[in-house]
Amino acid sequence: MKYGIYYAYWEDKWEADYFKYIEKVAKLGFDFLEIACTPINGYSRQTLKDLRQAAKDNGIFLTAGHGPSADQNLASPDAATRRNAKKFFTKLLKNLETLGIHSIGGGIYSYWPVDYSKPIDKPGDWARSVKGVREIGKVAGDCGVNYCLEVLNRFEGYLLNTAAEGVKFVKEVDVPSVKVMLDTFHMNIEEDSIGGAIRSAKGLLGHFHTGECNRRVPGRGRTPWHEIALALKDIGYNGNVCMEPFVRMGGKVGEDIKIWRELEPGITEAKMDADAKAALDFERIALEGVR
Ligand SMILES: [Mn+2]
């Protein structure tokens, strides 16, 4: 498996100077850096190529994460919104191809964070989303990108809350580049069995997020890492494992992730780096027994 980290651990916006984080995570020993898609469609072709080259020069690769805004919602009942979403994702996927990115994951079949003050039409949104994801999934395939649908807990999403729903949805879409994505943080809330959830996604799991139940770095909480390791081994998962810790309050990231207390009070960037490195060493040993 390949081990990465989401840049937003260190940042409070859904965009950053990714050149800085490419160098940082390469030095810490990660195989890849996951970046947010928010700024990507605004980058020049040269910047896209420079980022690709920077990753290559540092011996890592890039993956992408995205929480679509309400106007990028493939499941929307509003036809103009669905058209806008398709336009956005088509452009984004072409840019990901230029970046040399082969995986995008997140609630990219809906929008995020969900506005629960509005009524929810799960069956209608499901049907519209299957259609939209089928279309965009084919574009992703043409761009060499896996389109990974992240199963989210009930407070953040309503279409895919369990691995079983993720598998059902991906089978309905029936496009090879469209995959299921699981995250230990969300599974902790929704699944009867975390190992069972992972096993149910055999052959369809495209990306895997890790974090503790309170989103501390892996190894600092009560997530059942051994159970997860055995299940990933059982299904022969050989893909990307991206840790997605969030420990600091503030900014749009703190607001969207709902961080209302400092999980590591007074933490410095140097300590965050050391914690990420320790979590990487922990994951390699806990999930594969590798030092
Ligand atoms: Mn996640």
Amino acid residing at 95? N
Torsion over CA of 44, 111, 141 and 180, rounded to 10 degrees? 130
- Taking the whole predicted model, whether its pTM rises above 0.95 is answered as yes
Percentage, residues of the chain above pLDDT 90: 99
7 C-alpha to center of ligand 1: Å? 12
On the question of pLDDT at 40 being above 80, the answer is yes
pLDDT of residue 111: 98
Calculate ∠ Cα 122-115-105, nearest 5°.
Answer: 70
End-to-end CA, the chain: 13
pLDDT at 291: 57
Tell me which of 165, 191, 244, 283 is the catalytic residue: 244
- Say if CB 257 and CB 19 are below 8 A apart: no
Q: Does the pLDDT value for residue 290 go beyond 80?
A: no
Give the Cα separation of 252 and 83 in Å (integer): 26
Q: Kindly provide the b/e burial profile for residues 149-173, where b requires at least 16 CB atoms within 10 angstroms of the residue's own CB.
A: bbbbbeebbbbbbbbbbbbebbeeb
* 283 is known as an active-site residue: no
Contact 138, 89 (CB under 8 A): no
Per-chain residues with Cβ under 5 A from ion ligand 1: 183, 209, 244
For residue range 219-275, list pLDDT tens digits in order. Answer: 999 999 999 999 999 999 999 999 999 999 999 999 999 999 999 999 999 999 999
Which domains does the chain possess? 2-288 (3.20.20.150)
Q: Does residue 135 carry a catalytic annotation? A: no
In the reported structure, the alpha carbon of residue 209 is separated from the centroid of ligand 1 by a whole-number distance in angstroms of 5
Q: Which two tokens stand for residue 11?
A: 């940042």
Once rounded to an integer, what is the mean pLDDT over residues 190-214? 98
Active-site residue identified among 150, 165, 190, 283? 150
Tell me how far the alpha carbon of residue 110 lies from the centroid of ligand 1, in angstroms: 15
Q: What separation in Å is there between the alpha carbon of 210 and the centre of ligand 1?
A: 7
Q: How far apart are CA 132 and CA 98, in angstroms?
A: 23
Task: Say if residues 223 and 282 touch (Cβ distance below 8 Å).
Answer: no
- With a CB cutoff of 8 Å and minimum separation 6, the contacts of 76 are 70, 82, 85, 111, 125, 128
Average pLDDT, the chain: 97
Q: Is there a contact between 126 and 159 (Cβ–Cβ < 8 Å)?
A: yes
Pinpoint the alpha helices (H) of 100-162: 122-142
Q: Which helix (H) or strand (E) holds 81?
A: helix 79-99
Instruction: Supply 133's token pair.
Output: 């994801």
